[in-house]
């Protein structure tokens, strides 16, 4: 399919050819997310802007993020501890998430969050979360 674009314009996400025949992506940056397991193993994955941290974990097979409810904040099986330096960036839990954290998680900490409720943004590039040894 061929579509007409005005000279000098490119739709977001398109590849363009530059001098020498190489191509460069005109896309948004891809935030890197790091999951630390209870045994200290780190696993870095790419997060998609606007998607949840939980979805990034599930799509990349990160062990320990069970996500039984599929991201509806109703099971607590995607509980993580957000690294101190990112607590402000991820924001505060809403009332539903607060209730689930109070009722369902085994060890609540200052950085406790349900990863299904954290949306990936450019500001979260480098986000590190620790996964509890046991999910509810």
DSSP letter assigned to residue 57:
H
Rounded mean pLDDT, 10-18: 37
What is the predicted pLDDT for the residue at 27?
A: 63
Percent of the chain with pLDDT over 90: 74
* 3 state SS of 43: strand
What is the predicted pLDDT for the residue at 125?
A: 98
Q: What structural domains and CATH numbers belong to the chain?
A: 28-130 (3.10.20.30)
In this predicted model, which residue has the larger pLDDT, 73 or 8?
Answer: 73
pLDDT digits (tens, 9 = 90+) for 29-81: 899 999 999 999 999 999 999 999 999 999 999 999 999 999 999 999 999 99
Contacts of 82 (CB under 8 A, 6+ apart): 90, 111, 112, 113, 118, 127, 128, 129
Instruction: Supply angle C-alpha 90, 96, 100, rounded to 5.
Output: 90
Phi, psi of 80 (to 5 degrees): -140, 165
89, 127 Cβ separation under 8 angstroms: yes
Q: How confident is the model at residue 106 (pLDDT cuts 50, 70, 90)?
A: confident
Which range among 1-10, 44-53, 108-117 shows the weakest confidence by mean pLDDT? 1-10
């Amino acid at each position: 399919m061929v579509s007409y674009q005005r000279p000098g314009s490119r739709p977001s996400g398109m590849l363009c050819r530059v001098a020498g025949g190489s191509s460069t992506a005109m896309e948004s940056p891809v935030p890197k997310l790091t999951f630390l397991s209870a045994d200290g193993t780190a696993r870095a994955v790419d997060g998609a802007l606007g998607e949840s941290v939980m979805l990034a974990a599930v799509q990349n097979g990160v062990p320990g993020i069970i996500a039984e409810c599929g991201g509806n904040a109703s099971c607590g099986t995607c509980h993580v501890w957000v690294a101190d330096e990112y607590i402000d960036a991820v924001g505060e839990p809403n009332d539903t998430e607060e209730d689930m954290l109070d009722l369902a998680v085994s060890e609540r900490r200052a950085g406790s969050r349900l990863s299904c409720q954290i949306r990936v943004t450019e500001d979260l590039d480098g986000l590190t979360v620790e996964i509890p040894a046991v999910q509810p």
